[in-house]
Structure 1
């Protein structure tokens, strides 16, 4: 990895970093993956994009620990076991090919898929001539492996694994708390595994780790706040909100792929 420019922990850094960490923390607490996609681009306004991703990874690990504790009593074990192998494969593929595939190409593909996926839900559910609410889909090993792999790959190269994960899991229509518990566990494992290639690439140096440490209090508060909000959401509110945030995430990724 090329030597990153020297970073200054000044007012501009914190003006971008604190809102970025707040948004990611709310997402980690269970309030939808769209917020998480805004974190690295916000921080990249004041530091190199590679540095922004590196600074976020230790913060994500700490957020994962808090989220695991907050959702320790909720999980969908079958869904987690179904999608996790693909996630691990996606990380390995990302490590092996990160220098070959432009991140913007991946962002564009994920964006288009997510926009179609979320738009289809709103059409079927709310459009006068739509099909109405659809029955939950069953577990599908091939689909789980495909979307899990894409989630792991996107998480490695762009911290953007949320939309592919949602494309597989949301149509299962799990209980919102079990869905969030499975999501928290999946990304906690994915981020822990990502530490290995990030260390190998030299991204987790003393400067970046120091910046991460200064932002941890914000991360802890935001993660607990997100968990508290989700616990009080009813199913009929949770799923439209989550699909809506997925649509926002897709639009954000589409914007990032061109600009």
Structure 2
């Protein structure tokens, strides 16, 4: 049973609003932080079931502003890779150690940012090139799996797309499209596994306005923030989410 007390709402309202802002304007990488915040007040599986409908609501709210602004090829590679990733997550949800994957994804995210900074600061000499096409499928696989077990699929997608050198709106639109599909793929297995309950449904109804407010703020921020600052924020969020994943894994 969920306890709809002041502590729950004190944690849930800012967490859900932040997830909406992140997904609506800054590539969704940090949106997963809402789940561990909620897990301070409810069981982890309950936090997953509570967040998914809200994430899907934000997906719907942000598809319109970014419609057809995505990179179709990058989105296709990520989505195709995510299908077996979600299936693997469903099969291994109760068996796999999610901390191992949190550690790997977090380490890759931080290493990627460190590498990019070293290139930009000319600490190493390297001709930047996009990852090969297969990397999109691998990033989608990792995103599908980690998104299923912890809603933490943002970092693999961000690492892959940052390597492509997309503009900020193409980057954001591709992320929105990719996770719209991934979250739809997750819904059926979540329902079959009993992750959704009447309590999570009631919580979603109460928290939906805050998710939508966050999505609106995120979209507004996206158009107002200059491109250079947008990617600086993206790198910072990638480091923060990577660090949080490592902290959770080792904690």
Smaller-chain TM-score range?
over 0.9
Instruction: Determine if contact 1:30/1:184 at 8 Å carries over to the other structure.
Output: no
In the alignment, does 2:111 pair up with 1:119? no
CA distance in 1, matches of 2:41, 2:47: 9
CA distance in 1, matches of 2:239, 2:198: 37
- Give the structure 1 partner of residue 130 of structure 2: 137
1:159 to 143, 146, 151: 151
CA distance in 1, matches of 2:109, 2:140: 14
Structure 2's unaligned 5+ residue stretches are: none
CA distance in 2, matches of 1:37, 1:203: 17
Within 5 Å, give how 1:44-83 maps onto structure 2.
44-83=39-78
CA distance in 2, matches of 1:254, 1:8: 29
- Give the structure 2 partner of residue 219 of structure 1: 211
Instruction: Determine if contact 1:24/1:36 at 8 Å carries over to the other structure.
Output: yes
CA distance in 2, matches of 1:109, 1:120: 16
Equivalences, count: 251
Instruction: Determine if contact 2:30/2:238 at 8 Å carries over to the other structure.
Output: no
CA distance in 2, matches of 1:73, 1:201: 34
- Give the structure 2 partner of residue 3 of structure 1: none
- Give the structure 2 partner of residue 239 of structure 1: 231
Within 5 Å, give how 1:180-259 maps onto structure 2.
180-259=172-251
Paired residue secondary structure (1:29): helix
Paired residue secondary structure (1:101): coil
Paired residue secondary structure (2:40): coil
2:36 to 41, 57, 70: 41
TM-score normalised over the length of structure 1: 0.92
Paired residue secondary structure (1:243): helix
CA distance in 2, matches of 1:57, 1:245: 21
Instruction: Determine if contact 1:26/1:35 at 8 Å carries over to the other structure.
Output: no
Question: Deviation at 1:135?
Answer: 4.1
Paired residue secondary structure (2:212): helix
Paired residue secondary structure (1:203): coil
TM-score normalised over the length of structure 2: 0.95
CA distance in 2, matches of 1:80, 1:159: 18
Within 5 Å, give how 1:75-114 maps onto structure 2.
75-114=70-109
> Deviation per CA, 1:50-88, whole angstroms, max 9, x where unpaired?
101110011011010001122124111111112211011
CA distance in 1, matches of 2:144, 2:55: 15
- Give the structure 1 partner of residue 16 of structure 2: 21
Question: Deviation at 1:136?
Answer: 5.0
Over the aligned positions, Cα root-mean-square deviation in angstroms equals 1.5
Question: Deviation at 1:28?
Answer: 1.1
> Deviation per CA, 1:67-120, whole angstroms, max 9, x where unpaired?
112212411111111221101110001111112211111111111111101111
2:138 to 146, 149, 152: 146
